[in-house]
Chain A
Amino acid sequence: MHPVRRQRLLLVLFVVLFSSLAIGLVSYALRGNINLFYPPVDVVSGKAPTGHSIRVGGMVEQGSVRRSEDSLEVSFMLTDYKASVPVVYVGILPDLFGEEQGAVASGMLDSEGVLQATEILAKHDENYMPPEVAYALENAGFDEKGKIK
């Protein structure tokens, strides 16, 4: 074979080998690491899997935030005004977390339907709404104040 062609062939083989390696890596990494988003109504109706990391977003229900007296455990309800999901989180909440504010919690559902959250995201400025929360409310047919649209 002509040396230039042989070089080119080897190059192509190298690129193919390497990219298939990369694709393998990507699909392996994707399999375990994507978090599906569920609106509260889907979680309550049992569409969300238990034992797998998911995200749930909605408004924090008024009067539902309870802090433990002796630890950093917090529990609250996330709602899309059709259904509410109880969430438990241990740790420090983001600054803009509050009742009647949008929030997204990620974590696993336990057997009692409580979301054991490992991360809480709140909006980061006054006028911003996480797109997922907006989507969940839209889905349920309510606006962010809980009024029917």
Chain B
Amino acid sequence: MMPEIGHFALIIAFCLTLMLAVVPAWGAWRGNATAMALAPTLAVGILVFVGISFACLASAFLQDDFSVALVASHSNSLLPPIYKFAAVWGNHEGSLMLWALILALWTAAVAVFSPQLPLLVLSRVLAVMGAIGVGFLSFSLVTSNPFARLLPSTPVEGSDLNPLLQDPGLIIHPPLLYMGYVGFSVAFAFAVAALLGGRLDASWARWSRPWTNIAWGFLSLGIMLGSWWAYYELGWGGWWFWDPVENASFMPWLAGTALIHSLAATDKRGLFKSWTVLLAIFAFSLSLLGTFLVRSGVLTSVHAFATDPARGMFILVFLAIVVGGSLTLYAFRAPTVSSRVTFAWVSRESLLLCNNVVFLVATLTVLFGTLFPLIVDALGMGKVSVGPPYFNAVFVPLMVLLVPFMGIGPLSRWKGDDIARWRSELIIPALAAVACGLTFPLLNAPYNIWVALSVLLSSWLCLGLAQDVWRRLRNASSAARGLRRLTPGYCGMLIAHLGFAACVIGIVATSQYSLERDLRMSPGDTQELAGYDFKFVEVTQVRGPNFIADEARVVVSRDNAIVTTLLPQKRRYLAGGSVMTEAAIDPGLFRDLYVAMGEPVGNDGAWAMRLHYKPLVRWMWLGAIFMAVGAFTSVLDKRYRGQRGVVHSDSKAALHGA
């Protein structure tokens, strides 16, 4: 019964999205306030019904209702309850449900948290989000119904959830990633609404900026979690593979990074308006493209589920409608919204422009590398794959180009600045950064030109920020007052940029200093790696809730003092019989030690073992967390509280006046 209720709720939600897409838009066109006022109610209604539907699906998973085809093929009664719940989105149909739920969540959030938005704008924004909802809910209902039953031949037991997915990573990575992916639909909806209304003013940027920042923050977290998950779960210590699906999430992030910076210029100075709109369209289109790449299975990837051409076709058509429609609208409307503000070449605007150009080019090169195999295949020129060397070769120089400007950015002034002032402000940070770059081997690290460069660039970034904070504080009467005067917007920028610096150092140091050895080890053997002794003690059999495993005990010591005991496993899952490597990691702020088991070799109990020493690998993920925290912090800024804040201060002033 429950699955039918869920299916029914999904159909009701679909009807509501249809109404949301049509009625408020009609109201906005005709000036009918009643029709427009319906939008927030509909948005909340959609959330309720998609929520009911999702809850029904989740309960089918939790109660092992194997008469539902999706549950039968992706769950098992032995599965721990938390993974049964996460299994809801560990498959194509369910992940679409998650997508729909999060879209409903964002739509309702816009409806509820935008009291300062004029009704006309709000109804347009919600109508656009409704239209996106129509696309996804019909996709779910028509091509991938999650509630399809297996009647009357109901299996007694489900085939298992893919063991790779039986991990805490599955519980949090997809929801966070989708929060980011889908969140860009808000920026997109604001942009399209502004194009529809023909009015792109500073207030438009101010409204859409906090939403974009939040979405970007979630996307950063989602990507970071994906990387971390791959690192410990796939068992060979890599954290980024330039896999098509990773790229699919990375491209919206790159475009989104350009967008949040361009929005800053639009918000503060009324500049780059049509450009910002284009970026918003671009970022969301890339999210959709990502969905297409993941769900259609056209590319070889660890994320591809078993495929169905009809589904790929559906998303492709949807993508074409969204991109084609919004670009056509843009072509007709953008000229009317272009700005007439000018700025000098030496100014913050130019630096933001540099940011935008670099990130856009980075997006396009990644896009090109991702789609190149498809293009070549479509032209019948053979099957190629574009490997990590391509992406590294184009991506790294672009980032190197970015950071020098990034160091100046926070210090620079809007509208017009002075090179002489930059020079006098930045000469000390510049010299100090060079000194850091030259002397970092004093920290007991071998000299490496790439690490030196990354230290140079990161310290330039951090010291530039420090200089700017100091400049703001020294004009204040006391340090505490000066600190209080730093707005959340500024603090957010500070935190996010520091995170970027940490990321740069982490990535470069890990890539350059990591040591890896694949070895044959017999019980009792000791191997040395980076000054640590790894002693392979024994292998024992252990039992988990739904697997049995060979567990190795590896005692790690340094200078005869025991550092840690690592227990990597080789698991065999009972339901599907599939084998999985579970790496054991001793994490640390400055280094990770990583042991994974290969397979048994020979007859004397020897195993193939993989030992890793990974310095500063955590910095990269910590950096991404910083970026997300920065994005969330910036949203607390007073300027986004809009008219309510204004009214408030007005009434205060009135009180004081009285």
A residues with CB within 8 A of B = 3-4, 7, 10-11, 14-15, 18-19, 22, 25-26, 28-30, 32-37, 55, 67, 69-72, 90-93, 95-96, 104, 106, 121, 124-128, 130-132, 135
Q: A30 contacts which of B298, B390, B519, B602 (Cβ < 8 Å)?
A: B390
B337 CB within 8 Å of chain A: no
A124, closest chain B residue (CB) = B302
Complex alpha-carbon distance, A29 and B366, angstroms = 12
Collect the chain B residues with CB atoms within 8 Å of residue A15's CB.
357
Q: Which of B52-60, B138-146, B194-202, B573-581 contacts the other chain?
A: B573-581
The answer on a CB contact under 8 Å between B384 and A95 is no
- With A72-B608, A91-B518, A126-B576 known as contacts, the answer to whether A33 contacts B598 (CB < 8 A) is no
The answer on a CB contact under 8 Å between A71 and B520 is yes
A132, closest chain B residue (CB) = B383
Q: How far is the CB of A101 from chain B (nearest CB, A)?
A: 11
Complex alpha-carbon distance, A70 and B522, angstroms = 11
The answer on a CB contact under 8 Å between A29 and B390 is yes
Complex alpha-carbon distance, A72 and B361, angstroms = 42
- List which B337-377 residues lie within 8 A (CB) of chain A: 342, 345, 353, 357, 361, 364-365, 368-369, 372
Q: A72 contacts which of B304, B518, B580 (Cβ < 8 Å)?
A: B518
B389 CB within 8 Å of chain A: yes
Q: B383 contacts which of A72, A106, A135 (Cβ < 8 Å)?
A: A135
B1 CB within 8 Å of chain A: no
Q: How far is the CB of A140 from chain B (nearest CB, A)?
A: 14
A25, closest chain B residue (CB) = B394
Complex alpha-carbon distance, A28 and B581, angstroms = 38
- With A26-B394, A125-B164 known as contacts, the answer to whether A72 contacts B387 (CB < 8 A) is no
The answer on a CB contact under 8 Å between A72 and B235 is no
Collect the chain A residues with CB atoms within 8 Å of residue B389's CB.
29, 32-33
Q: How far is the CB of B361 from chain A (nearest CB, A)?
A: 5
The answer on a CB contact under 8 Å between A37 and B601 is no
- With A15-B357, A22-B361, A95-B581 known as contacts, the answer to whether A72 contacts B520 (CB < 8 A) is yes
- List which B586-622 residues lie within 8 A (CB) of chain A: 596, 598-599, 601-602, 608, 610
Q: How far is the CB of B74 from chain A (nearest CB, A)?
A: 10
Complex alpha-carbon distance, A28 and B397, angstroms = 13
Collect the chain A residues with CB atoms within 8 Å of residue B580's CB.
95
Q: B382 contacts which of A36, A70, A90, A125 (Cβ < 8 Å)?
A: A36
Given A26-B368, A92-B610, 9 more contacts at CB 8 Å? Answer: A14-B357, A26-B369, A33-B393, A36-B382, A36-B384, A37-B382, A90-B518, A93-B599, A131-B298
A22, closest chain B residue (CB) = B361
Collect the chain A residues with CB atoms within 8 Å of residue B385's CB.
34-35, 37, 55, 106
A34, closest chain B residue (CB) = B384
- With A26-B365, A37-B383, A72-B520 known as contacts, the answer to whether A92 contacts B608 (CB < 8 A) is yes
Collect the chain A residues with CB atoms within 8 Å of residue B518's CB.
72, 90-92
The answer on a CB contact under 8 Å between A95 and B372 is no
Complex alpha-carbon distance, A130 and B364, angstroms = 26
Complex alpha-carbon distance, A117 and B236, angstroms = 16
Collect the chain B residues with CB atoms within 8 Å of residue A19's CB.
361
- With A37-B382, A92-B236, A92-B598 known as contacts, the answer to whether A126 contacts B372 (CB < 8 A) is no
How many chain B residues touch the partner (CB < 8 A)? 49
The answer on a CB contact under 8 Å between A28 and B361 is no
B203 CB within 8 Å of chain A: no
The answer on a CB contact under 8 Å between A22 and B394 is yes
Collect the chain B residues with CB atoms within 8 Å of residue A36's CB.
382-384
Cβ proximity bits B368-409 to A, threshold 8 Å, 1 near / 0 not:
110010000000001111110110011001100000000000
Collect the chain A residues with CB atoms within 8 Å of residue B345's CB.
7, 10
- With A26-B368, A96-B579, A124-B164 known as contacts, the answer to whether A69 contacts B602 (CB < 8 A) is yes
Q: How far is the CB of B21 from chain A (nearest CB, A)?
A: 36
Q: How far is the CB of B328 from chain A (nearest CB, A)?
A: 24
Interface pairs (11), CB distance under 8 Å: A25-B394, A29-B390, A30-B369, A34-B387, A35-B384, A69-B602, A70-B520, A95-B235, A95-B578, A95-B580, A131-B298
Q: How far is the CB of A108 from chain B (nearest CB, A)?
A: 13
The answer on a CB contact under 8 Å between A18 and B361 is yes
Collect the chain B residues with CB atoms within 8 Å of residue A29's CB.
389-390, 393-394
The answer on a CB contact under 8 Å between A33 and B386 is yes
Complex alpha-carbon distance, A70 and B601, angstroms = 9
Complex alpha-carbon distance, A10 and B343, angstroms = 13
- With A15-B357, A18-B361, A25-B393 known as contacts, the answer to whether A93 contacts B387 (CB < 8 A) is no
Q: How far is the CB of B237 from chain A (nearest CB, A)?
A: 11
- With A3-B342, A92-B608, A126-B576 known as contacts, the answer to whether A33 contacts B519 (CB < 8 A) is no
Complex alpha-carbon distance, A33 and B1, angstroms = 55
Q: How far is the CB of B489 from chain A (nearest CB, A)?
A: 27
Q: How far is the CB of B322 from chain A (nearest CB, A)?
A: 26
Complex alpha-carbon distance, A67 and B601, angstroms = 8
- With A36-B382, A72-B519, A127-B306 known as contacts, the answer to whether A4 contacts B342 (CB < 8 A) is yes
Q: How far is the CB of B358 from chain A (nearest CB, A)?
A: 8
Interface centre among A72, A104, A127, A130 (most CB of B within 10 A): A72
B45 CB within 8 Å of chain A: no
Complex alpha-carbon distance, A67 and B302, angstroms = 27
The answer on a CB contact under 8 Å between A126 and B384 is no
Collect the chain A residues with CB atoms within 8 Å of residue B372's CB.
30, 34
Q: How far is the CB of A2 from chain B (nearest CB, A)?
A: 11
The answer on a CB contact under 8 Å between B579 and A95 is yes
The answer on a CB contact under 8 Å between B162 and A93 is no
Complex alpha-carbon distance, A10 and B361, angstroms = 18
- With A10-B345, A92-B518, A124-B164 known as contacts, the answer to whether A37 contacts B361 (CB < 8 A) is no
B397, closest chain A residue (CB) = A25
B297 CB within 8 Å of chain A: yes
B300 CB within 8 Å of chain A: yes
The answer on a CB contact under 8 Å between A93 and B306 is no
Complex alpha-carbon distance, A93 and B580, angstroms = 12
Collect the chain B residues with CB atoms within 8 Å of residue A55's CB.
385
Complex alpha-carbon distance, A92 and B600, angstroms = 10
Complex alpha-carbon distance, A11 and B271, angstroms = 14
